[in-house]
Chain A
Amino acid sequence: MKQRFLIPLAVFFVLVIFLAIGLTLNPRDLPSPLKDKPAPAFTLPQLAAADKTFSPADLKGKVWLLNVWASWCVSCRQEHPLLVSFSKENNLPIIGLNYKDQLADAKNWLARFGDPYLLSAVDADGRVGINYGVYGVPETYVIDKAGTIRLKHTGPITPESLKTQILPLVAELSK
């Protein structure tokens, strides 16, 4: 009869196990329907020089990162130092997609916190973001030599995700 008083403890124990597994997962880690599909084409003005444009086709034959950012985005600021130090140590092109931002704010932001980007494309009304299925800022896409999206990372890049996900994939794609 005494065993029945252990039931609450047992139920709780199972719950804790699930919560512990839940902690290791990322609920925002949504599978992107664009994975292994060609990166949507666009032509957008560059942040630093509005008379020049950028289009994903310009980087055909290279492995590159597309990082969606905005000066109003708090998590971008959290992610930013990592991108800056990464860009200094690697030759991998990082293209910024400046998402729904004000030009002056975006420029100030880069001047203040450093510019890890080869260039930033200005997506002022967020139209390109829609094509890419931008879910929340920041997001990062790994695009291969053929212009295919190979990975979508939602939320700020952390040293772990950089080391375990992005870098190995980039190394493999660059072969």
Chain B
Amino acid sequence: MIPELGHFALILAFVVSIAQGVLPLVGAGSGKLGGQAQWIALARPAAQTQFLLIAVAFGCLAQSFLANDFSVSYVAQHSNTQLPSLYRFSAVWGGHEGSLLLWVLMLAGWGAAVSLASRRLPEVMVARVLGVLGLVGIGLLAFVLFTSSPFERLLPAATEGRDLNPLLQDPGLVFHPPMLYMGYVGFSVAFAFAIAALISGRLDAAWARWSRPWTTAAWVFLTLGIALGSWWAYYELGWGGWWFWDPVENASFLPWLVGTALIHSLAVTEKRGAFKNWTVLLAIAAFSLSLLGTFLVRSGVLTSVHAFASDPRRGVFILVLLAVVVGTSLTLFAWRAPKVSAGGSFGLVSRETLLLMNNVLLVVATGSVLLGTIYPLLIDALGMGKLSVGPPYFNAVFVPVMVPLLLLMAIGPMARWKHADLKAIAGRLRVSLALAAIAGIGLPLLMGAWTPLTAMSSLLAVWIVASGVFQIIERMKTGQPSASFWGMHIAHFGIAVFVFGVAMVGGYQEEKDVRMEPGDTVQVGGYGFRLIEVNDAPGPNYRAAVGSVELSKDGRVLKTMYPEKRSYFSSQMPMTEAAIDAGFTRDVYVSLGEPLGDKGAWSVRVYFKPFVDWIWAGCLLMGLGGFVAMLDRRYRLRLKVGAGVTAGVAA
């Protein structure tokens, strides 16, 4: 009964999304006719109703999981009576159908949020934004209902479920998909604002100001979602890596890169009225790449460690959806963009120019990652064979683009709008440059070995931080800076911390893959690891071999670590649970491989990873920066029509 209720709620949501996608847009388009005001007014309640209905559907599916209702095919495939209840809940998004349901729930959630937090916006604008979100909702709900319903019955019911993929039975995976989807789907709001602005023909500073906090919010979620995924891969896969340039990772990274470009471009459009067409294009691109990511992951056109069961019909459906959504948007863009005024002019040396360079570099980075991701597909489609593109390609194309971006990052915020004085900037950066140079030479030597890459990264990290601190001190002299100012600098510090972490791990990590018998000791990174024993231990739905490894430094015993090798009953899949001793300046990491022979020997992998946690700390800082920037007062002020410097350059 409950699954049918859920299915019914989903069908109702589909009907409501049609109303939300059509009526407000028609109402907003037909001018001052009295009757149309009601259609415009329909947008808000429709968006909220849609969210409630999908939430009911989601709740029904969750209930089926918690109640072990194996007469629901999706539940039978992704759950098991022995599964702990937290994972039974997170199993809701453990497979294709449920994760799409989460996708539409997020989409409707963002729509409802816009409907509640848009009291200060003109009604017509709200109607258009929610209308566009409604149209996107129609497509995705149709996708769920017609190709991927999670409520399909399995009759006769299975007596026991097949269990959730053991890789997904982890706290990190409980939060990773929702965060990531919040980000992915959040770009739909920036997209809807851009399309609404294109429809109305009013691409002005007000539009940029409205969409800024929403874009930043989506970006924050995406940043945290990607970071969680990376952290999970680090401790759960047992390979000690934190980023693999896997197609599915790239699928989430592409919208992030474009989203980052969009945040910066929106700043120019808001403050100076320039880059309007460019900003709109980025907003369309960010959401398009989110959809493309969904396509790449869900259609099975690329092989990946995230191998989801793929169904060609679903692939066709998403591809058509992608073609319709992006195709119409870009057609609308090609039609409207030529009529948009160029906006404020600016000098060769100005903040606008620097932000333009930021955008160009980020877009080049996006292009090269996108190319590497779909290159195997292109080559296969051209009949030129099978190949896979690995980390060497990505590192080779990505790093050279990032270096100038990071160099400019310290300069950009110092430059004035419109026209900046190069000499003055150079003067203010003198101290930072000196500190950066010292760091570039000194830090790698302090770590034991000087390599160009670690030197470059240390230099860049200190360059960014020093310049940021200098600007904050300078700014504090003239009163309390705005939340945006703080947000920007916190996020930039996050980048610096991240870069430093990446460089230190890349340059100075040590690893050993050894055969150990109980009593054996191995030395890595100045630490001693002694395998004491490996014991069997039962878990709720698995059997584990738990190793006891004694960690010591300079002969002093620090602690005992317990890496696990689990074998899950239902799937017989072996899983590695690494033991990690995390620290501010280093992690030590032990994972059990396979048992070797009958003397109780195991293959053991031991890593010493300096500053690895800085990678995720940097991401957290970026997220925090975005969050602080959203709190800026000016987003909460009622917009005065025609007020401010931007009015003169508005279209």
- Taking Cβ atoms with an 8 Å cutoff, the residues of A that contact B are 1-2, 5-6, 8-9, 12-13, 15-16, 18-23, 25, 27-28, 30-31, 71-72, 74-75, 78, 101-102, 105
Contact = CB atoms under 8 A, between A and B. Distances in A.
Interface stretch (B316-324, B354-362, B613-621): B316-324
B281 A8 contact: yes
B162 interface: yes
A70 to B, nearest CB: 8
Contact of B338 (A5, A16, A21, A25): A5
B327 A19 contact: no
Nearest to B377: A22
Interface stretch (B238-246, B301-309, B553-561): B301-309
Given A8-B281, A12-B327, A75-B309, A18 B333 contact: no
Interface string B554-585: 00000000000000000111000000000000
26 contacts: A5-B334, A5-B338, A8-B281, A8-B330, A12-B326, A13-B327, A16-B319, A16-B322, A16-B327, A18-B377, A18-B378, A20-B319, A21-B381, A22-B377, A23-B299, A23-B301, A25-B377, A25-B380, A28-B303, A72-B571, A72-B572, A74-B77, A74-B309, A78-B309, A101-B572, A102-B572
Contact of B295 (A2, A19, A101): A19
B565 to A, nearest CB: 16
Interface in B135-189: 162
Contacts of A28: 303
A13 B316 CA distance: 15
Contacts of A27: 300-303, 376-377, 380, 386
B651 interface: no
Given A16-B319, A19-B295, A74-B162, A9 B331 contact: yes
Closest 6 CB pairs of A and B: A21-B381, A9-B330, A72-B572, A22-B377, A22-B301, A5-B334
B374 interface: yes
A28 B308 CA distance: 13
Contacts of B302: 27
Contacts, number: 80
Contacts of B338: 1-2, 5
B337 interface: yes
B333 A19 contact: no
A77 to B, nearest CB: 8
Interface residues of B, number: 38
A31 B634 CA distance: 60
A102 to B, nearest CB: 7
Contacts of A102: 572
Interface in B428-455: none
A81 B277 CA distance: 55
Contact of A18 (B299, B374, B573): B374
Contacts of B285: 8
B34 interface: no
A27 B304 CA distance: 10
B333 A8 contact: yes
B312 interface: yes
Interface string B26-37: 000000000000
Contacts of A19: 295, 301, 319, 322, 374, 377
B528 interface: no
A12 B324 CA distance: 11
Given A12-B288, A19-B377, A74-B77, 16 more contacts: A5-B277, A5-B338, A6-B334, A8-B284, A8-B334, A9-B333, A9-B334, A12-B327, A16-B319, A16-B327, A19-B374, A22-B381, A27-B302, A27-B376, A72-B572, A105-B572
A16 B312 CA distance: 15
Contacts of A21: 381
Interface in B313-371: 315-316, 319, 322-323, 326-327, 330-331, 333-334, 337-338
Contacts of A78: 309
A105 B374 CA distance: 40
A53 B594 CA distance: 29
A6 B334 CA distance: 5
Contacts of B377: 18-19, 22, 25, 27
Nearest to B326: A12
B319 A23 contact: yes
A22 B380 contact: yes
Contacts of B572: 71-72, 101-102, 105
A27 to B, nearest CB: 5
Contacts of B77: 74
Nearest to B322: A16
B269 to A, nearest CB: 17
Contacts of B277: 5
Interface in B364-394: 374, 376-378, 380-381, 386
Contacts of B327: 9, 12-13, 16
A3 B108 CA distance: 36
Contacts of A18: 374, 377-378, 381
A28 B300 CA distance: 9
B245 to A, nearest CB: 16
Contacts of B299: 23
A102 B67 CA distance: 30
A31 B386 contact: yes
B367 to A, nearest CB: 10
Nearest to A20: B319
Contacts of B323: 16
Contacts of A13: 327
B523 to A, nearest CB: 33
A107 B386 CA distance: 38
Given A18-B374, A18-B377, A18-B381, A5 B337 contact: yes
A74 B95 CA distance: 13
A104 to B, nearest CB: 12
Contacts of A16: 319, 322-323, 327
A58 to B, nearest CB: 29
Contact of A5 (B288, B315, B326, B333): B333
